[in-house]
Amino acid sequence: MSNQEIAERLYDIADMLEIEGVQWEPRAYRTAAMTISTLNTDITIFYNEGKLTELEGVGKSIAKSVEEYIKTGKISKYEKLKKKYPVDFEAFRRIRGLGPKRIYTLYKKLGVKDVDGLKAAVDGHKIRELDGFGEKSEEEMDKNLKTFSRLKENRKPLGFVMDYAENIVSRLRSSGFFDTVELAGSVRRMKDTVGDFDILTASYEPEKAVDFFSRLKEVRGIVVKGPTKTTVDLDIGLSCDMRVVEKASFGSALQYFTGNKDHNIKLRKIAISKGFKLNEYGVFRGKKQVAGSTEAEVYKSLGLEVMPPELRENMGEIEASQKHRLPKVVDYAEIRGDLHVHTKDSDGANTLEEIASAAERLGRKYIALTNHSVGLRIANGLDAARFAALNKKIDKFNESGGIRVLKGVELEILKDGSLDLPGSILKDLDFVVGALHQNLKMSPRDLTDRLLRAINSGMITAVAHPTDRIIGEREALPLDFDRIFDACEKNGVLLEIDGFPSRSDLPFDLVKKAKEHGGIRFSLGSDSHRLEHLKFIRLATAIARRGWLTKDDVVNTLDYKGVLKLKR
């Protein structure tokens, strides 16, 4: 059982209670579900320690539901409601524009229970006849269904599954059955989404090693089990390939299974052009292995420098490596601060003191509190007066020394491109991140003009999560990035790399384009809404590396005084 599964059941209960017209409870279930889905540790650990009710949003009654699920795999409250509403809420939650009430109407009037049923109803033009829906809403639903199908491809945002993968690796390492264990594949490349996990191992006792692996508590089913390759399905809904190779081939196997595929294909061509053969067992001249035990040796034998896995996407890294022109990408340890953090003051879960000291424990030297501005009502955005009060608290906090808290805002860029707060308050802030969250149904031209007006205003420091995509839910806005890059350069406005897993925005390919444009710097943020999210700065840094950014390109490598000077 996974945290994610429990969270989905709690979300289901919330949806069904909302249909029942119950007050408050749906909200409580959703808060608890959100908490559980973003925990670092297995929920059963909290249960075993009797600490369920210490989790945010988990009261006594929800704790009982969770306990029931852990013990029996079922929640009676859920089962009872589900009899009344036999509907695939989990899938419908991922389709835009479908709240519980509308789902209920579709079920009651048309018998729609799942995505296929909804497709059939849309195709048969049944939706337009429903009260409160109409032709336009049918067309909209058709569009959203298509997006859903495109996005549904079962990939998970890396940041949500990274700890889980690393935890498996560390248990394999300490089991005693393995000589070497390494993550490979897209996780090692730190790609923003993951299709499956790839683990590469060497072992003197391969049979016992494979047995140990296939008996991990996360394993739901075994797809194939053999001495060199085992594939299992995991409880988080991804599968995992585990390979056992000889030590003499470990480097070439690690290179091969790290990929990506296009990078590998190009390497193999280079090998052939030099009279070698390259595969997962090594680099060969005739039958003789000339390299294979380490990755560095493999690259070197092909006349290349070894490069960070994050760069291996066949985006020019092989050519750069041949010419000894690989960038020295920013190191994870060079990131000193986090420039996008929320507190309770808007829609975060923690107080300023809580999140600042957690960040300090994690080694950050500073954080910028970037709470939402007043125009974002659903996030409890702050008006000028509340910002002024919060800023006083921050000044007071900073008197104690230690981690430095910067006064910031995630500022709504309004429909016409004007800003949500007056200059009189913005001038008192240290870090202003302008964001598009609302009224996004505009032409590409109007959207771009709107963002440009904000960039040209001289009032914002950075553009928050610039494409506004939500992985699995919403596609990138159709912005004209050539114009945006020009404006950022001209105005010295930073582009943000938001490391929150479902955002991962800017995506790495646009980061690389922006870097090639020249004259643009970048700010990294975890977009934390609770303590557990602070770790997402690592994901933002990974995107920076994948976009070939160096230390100088990333303002988070400055000390806080350096960041204060960016203010305009």
> Residue 556 in contact with residue 338, Cβ under 8 Å?
yes
Does residue 182 touch Ca ion according to CB under 5 A? Answer: no
Size of the site for Ca ion (CB under 5 A): 5
**Choices 34-42, 196-204, 334-342, 477-485 (CB under 5 A): range interacting with Ca ion:** 196-204
Does residue 159 touch ligand DGT according to CB under 6 A? Answer: no
Does residue 259 touch ligand DGT according to CB under 6 A? Answer: yes
Residues β-bridged to residue 202? 180
Residue given tokens 């075994």 in the structure block: 222
Does residue 198 touch ligand DGT according to CB under 6 A? Answer: yes
Does residue 261 touch ligand DGT according to CB under 6 A? Answer: yes
How far apart, in whole angstroms, are the C-alpha atoms of residue 520 and residue 489?
5
Q: Distances from the Cα of 544 to the Cαs of 16, 328, 501, 536, 541, in angstroms?
A: 41, 12, 14, 13, 5
**Choices 14-22, 167-175, 193-201, 375-383 (CB under 6 A): range interacting with ligand DGT:** 193-201
Residue given tokens 């809580």 in the structure block: 354
Q: Which does 264 bind (CB under 5 to 8 A by kind): Ca ion, ligand DGT, none?
A: ligand DGT
> Residue 387 in contact with residue 381, Cβ under 8 Å?
no
- What are 44-51's contacts with CB under 8 Å, separation 24+? 44/1, 44/70
Residue given tokens 């390109």 in the structure block: 553
Smallest gap from Cβ 260 to ligand DGT, in A, equals 4
Q: Distances from the Cα of 565 to the Cαs of 429, 448, 456, 523, 568, in angstroms?
A: 12, 27, 18, 14, 8
Does residue 504 touch ligand DGT according to CB under 6 A? Answer: no
Site track 37-56 with ligand DGT (rule: CB under 6 A), x = hit: --------------------
How far apart, in whole angstroms, are the C-alpha atoms of residue 558 and residue 430?
14
Nearest to 369 by CA among 404, 334, 401: 404
- Whichever of 88 and 196 has its CB closer to ligand DGT, that residue is 196
Q: Distances from the Cα of 201 to the Cαs of 212, 254, 262, 390, in angstroms?
A: 13, 9, 23, 51
Q: Which does 261 bind (CB under 5 to 8 A by kind): Ca ion, ligand DGT, none?
A: ligand DGT
Smallest gap from Cβ 180 to ligand DGT, in A, equals 18
Sheet containing 462-463, strands listed edge to edge, beginning at the edge strand earlier in sequence: 337-341, 366-369, 404-412, 431-435, 462-463, 494-498, 522-525
Q: Amino acid identity, residue 81? A: L
Quote the tokens at residue 492.
């010295």
Smallest gap from Cβ 240 to ligand DGT, in A, equals 10
Smallest gap from Cβ 233 to ligand DGT, in A, equals 14
Q: Amino acid identity, residue 316? A: G
List of E strands, 286-379: 288-291, 337-341, 366-369
Smallest gap from Cβ 155 to ligand DGT, in A, equals 7
Does residue 260 touch ligand DGT according to CB under 6 A? Answer: yes
**Choices 141-149, 185-193, 335-343, 379-387 (CB under 6 A): range interacting with ligand DGT:** 185-193
Smallest gap from Cβ 197 to ligand DGT, in A, equals 8
Does residue 264 touch ligand DGT according to CB under 6 A? Answer: yes
Does residue 153 touch ligand DGT according to CB under 6 A? Answer: no
Answer for which of 192, 198, 295, 313 binds Ca ion (CB under 5 A) is 198
How far apart, in whole angstroms, are the C-alpha atoms of residue 566 and residue 15?
45
Does residue 159 touch Ca ion according to CB under 5 A? Answer: no
Smallest gap from Cβ 232 to Ca ion, in A, equals 12
Does residue 22 touch ligand DGT according to CB under 6 A? Answer: no
Does residue 18 touch Ca ion according to CB under 5 A? Answer: no
Smallest gap from Cβ 155 to Ca ion, in A, equals 10
Nearest to 313 by CA among 264, 268, 267, 263: 263
Site track 241-280 with Ca ion (rule: CB under 5 A), x = hit: x---------------------------------------
Q: Directed axis angle between helix 537-546 and helix 158-174, to 10°?
A: 100
Smallest gap from Cβ 64 to ligand DGT, in A, equals 38
Binding site for ligand DGT (CB under 6 A): 185-186, 191, 194-196, 198, 256-257, 259-261, 264-265
Binding site for Ca ion (CB under 5 A): 185-186, 196, 198, 241
